[in-house]
Structure 1
């Protein structure tokens, strides 16, 4: 089992201490290393890249172009859509051929115009002094003669009282169509087999290890002969679960499974006649300890 050296352990511990403002570097510099114990720690990872398709009705302003409808539209899975980069989540929307139609915009009653909200159709801006109420300091506003509108034209509608309908972009008609929504999703299963119950397994998520095995195919098969039987069990369960979970609602385009060995070493040391320990883990040489012996605010010894 790969084990770090005493010098590497000390260097990692010094870096760990320097990253905490209230930790003294004395323990890392003065500690006497008593034992280095490495552990077999493996991470199994299964990635299943799937594609799912659904149809949703959409509307957009009519631009004068429409595809001629036919009796039978294409089926969702018959429409060619380019697959993006593997194992990365993505979404694309495509207009389904032969599903377009034109309808009048109900928001503006096919006129292409709606009443200006800023001036409420009065064509003039709201009076700055009375805020459109017509009353200023308990009396009729002298600035707008009680009308609530100033003498300047409304800036939003340029004095017309109406603006273009946003729904149809002033066209008065909408193009409706069936949109093909294609979702690509990378579903990930992870399992970590490690021998130290007192080391938090969640910390392995932030580090990398050495790749021991990589298998990428359209459909992979479970691992059956890895020395650690728990990895074989995890692979079998994950592959079966992903296939039963995704084949009924989507298409599995690609699968990849990997096994990593994650370095994990327990360092036993003495400092000021007391015993302590810490872990060094991952290729990044991160450190985990619950009993750092000297802090500015609280000192164990």
Structure 2
């Protein structure tokens, strides 16, 4: 077997060991509200109870809304301009046909679209670690760690998704690096700690087949410096960055997310759904609150039913794992 073993076996070959320990340090046990984290070894979502919504707002009369929100008639000039705009957005379309096209008839159809956007916040706590750089450690001796929803954070502007991470106060603990066992480095797996490997050009024979003289690549030694560790025989531990110790702590991960429900009423338009979802129209009604109510007695019953279904779906989906901030 052609391999070079280091004389100092105190630097173990740890290149194939797991990067992370399978369980948090036992010393972290006893942190309030984090027992589930230590038992299951994975993140968990916690959420507070929702505040009771206010009274639903009901419009005095939908007919008055529809009267003052009439969709303007589309003239031939407006239709042709829209067609020319579409043609110009396509690189290989000719505008001649659109410009000379004879428009014989214009038919209008009213399409209603209902959209519900729900902005929610969910919190996950997980344990993690980083190299210890001899900075101050905020451990359990400084006090009890706050519960997840007791930590005050700055909420981003409504309906702007974001993910942020925070270190939970009083949850830090310094321990020896689990990857290198406090050595700061480990034996190189390429040369097994020897710093030299067999020459790939001559396969260690010192001479290349069918060529006179010594192998030029290894100067006839049959060995070359290991490129993996640059001949040192060991590599710096990537987990602790050579610091030999890690600071373990509980990390709070907050996710702000938008959930969208969209419904388009039945229509006879031969138009792709994605184009209808991007179309702009007259805004008949808009409501924004911590929790909105379904639309009541809208002239088109399928819109009322869609609003009821949307609010129920978002409530069932989110209230079990998040807190609704705004709808």
> Fold conserved (TM > 0.5)?
yes
2:286 to 189, 214, 220: 214
Q: SS at 1:88's partner residue?
A: coil
Residues 76-95 of structure 1, C-alpha deviation per residue, up to 9 Å, x if partnerless?
Answer: 11111221121122111111
CA 1:134–1:245: 2 relative to 1, 3 Å: same
Could you tell which deviates more after superposition, 43-52 or 93-102?
Answer: 93-102
Counterpart Cα distance in 2 of 1:117 and 1:58: 27
Whether contact under 8 Å (1:3, 1:37) holds in the other structure is: no
Mark the CA change 1:21 to 1:62 in structure 2 (over 3 Å): closer, same or farther: closer
Equivalence for 2:140 = 69
**1:43 and 2:113 correspond:** yes
| Secondary structure of residue in 2 paired with 1:233 | helix
CA separation of 1:21/1:102 partners in 2, compared to 1, >3 Å: closer, same or farther?
A: closer
Give the corresponding residue for 2:7.
Answer: none
The 10-residue stretch of structure 1 (237-246 or 108-117) with the greater mean CA deviation from structure 2: 108-117
Higher share in helix: 2
Query: Matches of 2:215 and 2:161 in 1, distance apart?
Result: 59
Over 3 Å counting, the alpha-carbon distance change for 1:91 and 1:19 in structure 2 is closer
SS in 1 for 2:169: coil
What corresponds to 1:162 in structure 2? 234
Distance 1:22 1:66 in 2: 64
Query: Equivalent residue for 2:254?
Result: 182
Note if 1:191 corresponds to 2:263. yes
1:78 and 2:141 aligned: no
* Cα deviation 1:226-266 (Å, max 9, x = unaligned): 332222211111112211221121111111xxxxxxxxxxx
Range with greater deviation from structure 2 (111-120 or 215-224) = 111-120
CA RMSD of aligned residues (A): 2.8
| Larger strand fraction of residues | 1
In structure 1, C-alpha distance between the alignment counterparts of 2:151 and 2:81, rounded to whole Å: 58
- Counterpart check, 1:103 vs 2:178: no
CA distance in 2, matches of 1:124, 1:99: 44
Task: Tell me the secondary structure at the aligned position of residue 92 of structure 1.
Answer: strand
After superposition, the C-alpha distances for 1:133-183 in whole angstroms (9 at most, x for unaligned) are 424534874634344215xxx787665433421111111111111111111
The 5 Å alignment of 1:284-299 reads: none
For the residues of structure 2 that align with 1:20 and 1:157, how far apart are their CA atoms? 55
- 5+ residue gaps, structure 2: 1-70
Q: How many residues align?
A: 250
Taking structure 2 as the reference length, what is the TM-score of the superposition? 0.67
Q: What SS is found at the alignment partner of 2:238?
A: coil
SS in 2 for 1:174: strand
**Would you say the 8 A contact 1:134–1:144 is kept in 2?**
no
Match of 1:149 in 2: 224
Task: Output aligned runs, 1:123-272, within 5 Å.
Answer: 123=195, 129-130=201-202, 133-135=203-205, 137-138=208-209, 141=215, 143-150=218-225, 160-196=232-268, 198-255=270-327
> Post-superposition shift, 1:61?
0.6
Give the TM-score normalised by the residue count of structure 1.
Answer: 0.72
Secondary structure at the counterpart of residue 276 of structure 2: helix
